[in-house]
Amino acid sequence: MTRPGEDEIIEKYFAPLSGPAGLGLADDAAAFAPPPGQDLVVTKDMLCAGVHFFADDPPGAIARKALRVNLSDLAAKGAEPLGFLLGLALPDDWTPDWLAAFAAGLGEDAAAYRCPLIGGDTVKSPGALTLSITALGSVPAGLRLTRSRVAENDILYVSGTIGDAVLGLGLRGLPPPAWGLELSAESQVFLRERYLLPQPRLTLRAALRASAHAAMDISDGLAGDLAKMLRLSGLTAEIGEVPFSAAAQEALRAEDGLIAALLTGGDDYEILAAVPPDMAASFERAAAAAQVPVRRIGVARRGTTPPVFHDTAGRAIQLKSLSYGHF
């Protein structure tokens, strides 16, 4: 099958996904102004086959994950998506059918999240498939959230459930892990999907802007990301009651030692937020209205040691490392 060249790739697969700022992907750069009274928020994530996804994952799912992990960062800043740029390095064995499925998945999510493609670049890779997305968003002037403004006595919240993705990744192993053989078929499907397709919590952004002192998305593991956030403000915490899904609880019953992996494994793409006590009730109401479950996991306290996590019996959990590291 004859493969299209770079110009045809852009025209056939990606130009149909572009928004007005992208100028039909016919120019060297996008051009737009943020909405009046809004600050611009920019984030970038790079994904590589064999590190962030499997090379044989469905191409549409790979594209969706790449966009969604960036949208998760925008959500944590309280930002509304405006558009994104795509950098795509294709390995030598790509096919038009693969690229069509990739573009279709990307286009469906771009439309669903109202975040059009506005530019990028496509090149040949001498190695693994690599893609990079730069997402742009806007937030009302002065209301952008950061990691660094946690205050003593703030209540710490997480959205959704923690640890599902690392279990989903574990289920991809060969041979399958012993604990995986104990899971129901329904739980296995759920955990695999949580690894393959994260759910960016964009509907939580208004609640975060209205109530939170600080927020970040959980990409490298709850334990490590919480430690990063608290360290910036000279704080620590005692953590209990971390929310685990029914599927994760099923895995923990099969092998209780998995709890450390759930806390440190990463790829959750949930939101970690610090909310002052007098705003906690309104934050919980707003989160419920946005249909995003949130759970109190602790309170920020003065201190310089990493946060300590406790199991259901109140015992401190021993963590060899706090998060996933690339190097």
Can you spell out the DSSP letters for 163-229? SHHHHHHHTTSSSPPGGGGGS-HHHHHHHHHHHHS----GGGHHHHHHH-SEEEEESS-HHHHHHHH
Q: What's the confidence (pLDDT) of residue 1?
A: 58
CB atoms within 10 A of CB 238: 14
CB atoms within 10 A of CB 92: 8
Q: Is 217 annotated as a binding residue?
A: yes
- For the chain, give every domain's residue range: 6-19+34-140, 155-309
Which residues are within 8 A (CB) of 237 and not within 5 positions of it... i.e. 6 or more apart? Answer: 156, 226, 230, 298, 299, 300, 301, 307, 308
Q: Is 147 annotated as a binding residue?
A: yes
Q: Is 52 annotated as a binding residue?
A: yes
Q: What's the confidence (pLDDT) of residue 324?
A: 64
**Third-level CATH fold of 6-19+34-140:** 60s Ribosomal Protein L30; Chain: A; (3.30.1330)
Q: Is 43 annotated as a binding residue?
A: yes
Q: What's the confidence (pLDDT) of residue 103?
A: 96
Q: Is 45 annotated as a binding residue?
A: yes
Q: What's the confidence (pLDDT) of residue 301?
A: 97
**Which H or E run includes 107?**
helix 96-112
Per-residue pLDDT in tens (0 to 9) along the chain, 327 residues: 577 777 788 888 888 888 787 778 877 788 888 889 999 999 999 999 988 899 899 999 999 999 999 999 999 999 999 999 999 999 998 999 999 999 999 999 999 999 999 999 999 999 899 999 999 999 999 999 999 999 999 999 999 999 999 999 999 988 889 999 999 999 999 999 999 999 999 999 999 999 999 999 999 999 999 999 999 999 999 998 899 999 999 999 999 899 999 999 989 999 999 999 999 999 999 999 999 999 999 999 999 999 999 987 788 888 877 766 655
Q: Is 13 annotated as a binding residue?
A: no
Q: Is 219 annotated as a binding residue?
A: yes
Q: What's the confidence (pLDDT) of residue 139?
A: 96
Q: Are 89 and 130 in contact (CB under 8 A)?
A: yes
Q: What's the confidence (pLDDT) of residue 167?
A: 97
Q: Is 194 annotated as a binding residue?
A: no
Which residues are within 8 A (CB) of 112 and not within 5 positions of it... i.e. 6 or more apart? Answer: none
Q: Retrieve residue 120's tokens.
A: 């990028």
Q: Is 120 annotated as a binding residue?
A: yes
Q: Is 39 annotated as a binding residue?
A: no
- The CATH code belonging to domain 155-309 is 3.90.650.10
Q: Is 27 annotated as a binding residue?
A: no
